[in-house]
Amino acid sequence: MRFQKRTLIIAVLGGALVLVAVLIIFFDKFSPLSPATMLKIMSDRADLEVKNVLYREVGGDGNKWEIRAKKASYLRKQNLAYFDQVEVKLFFPDGKVMVLAAEKGQLDTATRDMKISGNVGVTSVSGERFATDYLQYSAAGQRLHTDAAVLMETPRLQIRGVGMSLSLPNKDVVLFSRVRARIK
């Protein structure tokens, strides 16, 4: 009787092992997802691609900024990060916040220079806002600038022009040409 139980247990375990092996071979052969496609994390174009990104940095001068994006791609050799549906928040030591939003963004990770483009909108806590096609940030001069048409609005004023430079430390704005203003 003891011999029959042992033989039955060994037969059941052997059958289970054979069934598991057959299932593994079956799913490996007929599965639509191969290990090559399941483990493909990196793109052929980028070293890293991420969705729903949040990146924060604190500068030595007390300024902080964060980047949020639906998607980001990083190319390490070129020191470039690309963003889709990007929002950049600049936090100043005096407590003021400036928000820049655009469809696309590009950050040079070595110099910290940035360019955003596609329906660029900039708003501040105090109610100022402006819109343009693209905007560049120079980290060395802490300056936002564009050569495109700009629409600036405050609660009391609307200004249009072509080309703009905004100094972040001094908080002064210069419009270069075709400037028109309307007081509300």
- Domain span at 100: 48-183
Higher pLDDT, 62 or 92: 92
55, 132: one domain? yes
72, 155: one domain? yes
Tally of domains within the chain: 2
pLDDT in tens, 87-140: 999 887 778 888 999 999 999 989 989 999 999 999 988 888 989 999 999 988
Is residue 78 situated within a structural domain? Answer: yes
158, 67: one domain? yes
Alpha carbon 113 to its chain's center: 15
- Rounded Cα distance, 123 and 97, in Å: 9
Please report the pLDDT score of residue 94 as a whole number.
79
Q: Is-contact 83 104, C-beta < 8 A?
A: yes
pLDDT in tens, 25-47: 665 665 555 554 443 444 556 56
Please report the pLDDT score of residue 41 as a whole number.
46
93, 60: one domain? yes
Q: Is-contact 164 145, C-beta < 8 A?
A: yes
Please report the pLDDT score of residue 146 as a whole number.
95
Is residue 43 situated within a structural domain? Answer: no
19, 99: one domain? no
pTM for this one?
0.69
Is residue 104 situated within a structural domain? Answer: yes
18, 64: one domain? no
Please report the pLDDT score of residue 32 as a whole number.
56
